[in-house]
Amino acid sequence: MPATWLLPHKVPPENERFAPTASRYNRAFDLAAVGERVGYPAYMKPFHGGGWVNVHRIADPTELQAAYDASGRELMHLQGGVEGYDVFTRGLAIGPQTMVTHYDPTRPLHLRYQVDHEFLTPELGNEIVTFGSSVGAFFRWEFNSFEVIVRDGGCYPIDFANATPDMALISLHYYFPWAIGALAKWSIYCVVTGRAMRLDTEIGRWYQVADDAGLGWEEKLAAYRGLVDDYYEADRFREFCDTHLANADDCMAEYIASDEFDAHLVATIRQAFPPHEHEQFVAHYRGLLGAWVNDQQATAGQS
């Protein structure tokens, strides 16, 4: 993973308890030394993430100091940059279900998720899915998004968590039906089976794998995936879906192709974009969602 440091607040929080606590426990730090250790270029961003707000590319110590001075009461991360990458991926994890997409953060919102099914090798895909699902299972989350950059055949996780993952129709477009369907399946499964959240995080099981010098990386990935499958009851979930929700994807395709959903799509576009762009974006999103329906129907016909 890229070197990542959490920086103290530039401006302390408005909390009367913060100053005495900080005076006892906060250590003095050298921002320039942190920048030197992380390396340049680096990226400074709020620790809680969210919509690429207040994310800054830092090229040198002067820019680092300026960005930190401007951070105010935000608690910031400084993370080593991974530039010249081959693929930027963004994953959405819902229970034991994970979708990894080809993502371009430099493009406008409606173009960031690329409709691309062969942008990763099976080995890289397995590693990224294992990473994303492991983060969720480790922290006992049911719902999370994450980002991983691929460069020269290596995976670099750069964003581990998002408390409110992007589920918007206008950004997910082609992947929106999968996301809603996955959320519905997992919710139904949890309600019907009475699955309760585990309060014991069992952190020791994860560190036992991490600290085992006798395991190679592929073996560790397999061990992590085993812990993931145990937490999310993956086998039981798949059996439940096969038995009780076998037609869920077909129902979703029927709904996405319906006049009812099209009316919802048009209303959403009218709320999100200025009037002179409505016609353009209605055609854009109809095409992407129509492509998903066609792909779903083709997959169903092959099974």
Q: Which two tokens stand for residue 227?
A: 């812990």
Residues 6+ apart with CB under 8 A from 129: 91, 98, 100
Direct distance between the N- and C-terminal alpha carbons of the chain, in angstroms, rounded to an integer: 39
Q: Give domain 4-80's CATH superfamily.
A: ATP-grasp fold, A domain (3.30.1490.20)
Taking only the tens place, the pLDDT of each residue in 149-195 is 999 999 999 988 887 788 999 999 999 999 999 999 999 999 999 99
Confidence of residue 48 (pLDDT cuts 50, 70, 90): confident
Taking only the tens place, the pLDDT of each residue in 96-134 is 999 999 999 889 989 999 999 999 999 999 999 999 999
Which residue, among 47, 45, 46, 38, has the nearest Cα to 80 in the 3D structure? 38
Say if residues 292 and 256 touch (Cβ distance below 8 Å): yes
Give the model's pLDDT for residue 162.
83
| pLDDT at residue 251 greater than cutoff 80 | yes
Query: What global pTM score does this model have?
Result: 0.88
C-alpha to C-alpha distance for 45 and 74, rounded to whole angstroms? 9
Which residue, among 181, 147, 156, has the nearest Cα to 50 in the 3D structure? 147
Tell which CATH architecture fits domain 86-173+196-233.
2-Layer Sandwich (3.30)
Residues 6+ apart with CB under 8 A from 46: 53, 54, 55, 74, 75, 76, 77
